[in-house]
Amino acid sequence: ALRDAWGVAAALSTRAALAMARGNLEAMRGNALEARGHFIDLGDAWGQLKATEVLSVLAEINADYELAAGLHREGLRIAESLELWSEVSRKLSGLGRIALLAERLTEADELHERALRLAVDQGNRPVAQFAELGLALAARRQGRLDTAEEHLRPWREWNRSRGAFTGLALVLAELGFVAEQRGDAAAALALHQDCLATARVTGDSRAVALALEGLAGAHSLAGRHTRAARLLGTAAQTRTLSGAPLPPAERGDVERISARIRESLGEDAFRAGLEAGAARDHETAADEEEKFLTDHRHTA
């Protein structure tokens, strides 16, 4: 019976992790909560660690940063007690992300640097990537674009060569935003188009929404403001339908891009573009962007 109970808990934990990869937030929550309860009853610390990982990611997505930090700290205690040093690194990075979202940037860098050193010591490249992407996110928030790019660039081909599309989509999005903030519309467009194609492979609508936001930035930089407004409208609606609208702490890119579009179009035309974008689904928007890419190549 004990083995059966553990098998059920492990299956629920696996289902939660698969739901996380697909961006299915409701399945993440239900499976992870049930798995955690079973693992607590069984006294299985490793299982609790796996379940709290999913729940902490979910809390961060839902902008419940206090809950996310508490879950990361719980996971950190478990990982340290089990001497699972790669998991310790992952938890330090998780706490670093929360510090970053709270604009405690020095603390975020310290946590991510500790996490990176530990991951490198363990020879764990995926966990090292998680830490280094945190350093890149903080650098870009502070306008240190060269530093952000240095942290990001090695991971583009690393993810691509392994078919790690979720990681690749995020790296491409971040590189695209770096290019946009430098004022390089062509590079930003190419990176975000690559990001969109990659995000579609993941099946995660939130990853597609991020790519559409990036494309809005690239198009607005090139003067295609109406197209950009529509993309922002589609992205916002996609996030809402996924159950996770973009929280205030993560709206910096959208607000920067929106300000540029609004300045060019005026408030009424900007709002009309958002509404038009919200009326189409993200697959339609993505198809239209792929057609734009094909047409753009033929006329370039």
Q: Using an 8 Å Cβ cutoff, are 169 and 195 in contact?
A: yes
Q: What is the pLDDT of residue 4?
A: 83
Taking Cα atoms as reference points, which of 208, 195, 216 lies closest to residue 241? 208
Span between the terminal Cα atoms of the chain, in Å: 67
Q: Is 226 left (phi over 0), alpha (psi -120 to 50) or beta?
A: alpha
Give me the average pLDDT of each 10-residue run along the chain (300 residues). 77 88 85 90 92 92 95 98 98 98 97 99 98 98 98 98 97 99 98 98 96 99 98 98 94 98 98 98 96 78
Compute how many other C-beta atoms are within 10 angstroms of the C-beta atom of residue 162.
12
Report helix, strand or coil for 183.
coil
Domains of the chain: 154-300 (1.25.40)
Q: What's this model's pTM, rounded to 2 decimal places?
A: 0.92
Rounded distance, CA 34 to CA 53, Å? 14
Show the CA angle centred on residue 130, arms to residues 128 and 132, nearest 5°: 65
Rounded distance, CA 153 to CA 298, Å? 29
Q: What is the pLDDT of residue 19?
A: 87
Q: What is the pLDDT of residue 1?
A: 52
Rounded distance, CA 134 to CA 46, Å? 25
Rounded distance, CA 32 to CA 24, Å? 12
62: Cβ contacts below 8 Å, ≥ 6 apart: 25, 244, 247
Q: Residue 110, CB half-sphere, CA atoms under 13 Å: how many?
A: 5
Q: What is the pLDDT of residue 24?
A: 85
In whole angstroms, what separates CA 247 from the centre of its chain? 13
Rounded distance, CA 297 to CA 141, Å? 32
Directed axis angle between helix 252-265 and helix 225-242, to 10°? 140
Rounded distance, CA 71 to CA 128, Å? 21
In whole angstroms, what separates CA 276 from the centre of its chain? 25
Taking Cα atoms as reference points, which of 76, 78, 143, 134 lies closest to residue 110? 134
Q: What is the pLDDT of residue 299?
A: 64
Rounded distance, CA 214 to CA 95, Å? 26
Q: What does the block give as tokens for 203?
A: 């099946």
Rounded distance, CA 300 to CA 201, Å? 27
Q: What does the block give as tokens for 45?
A: 């610390």
Q: What is the pLDDT of residue 286?
A: 96
Q: What does the block give as tokens for 155?
A: 């991971």
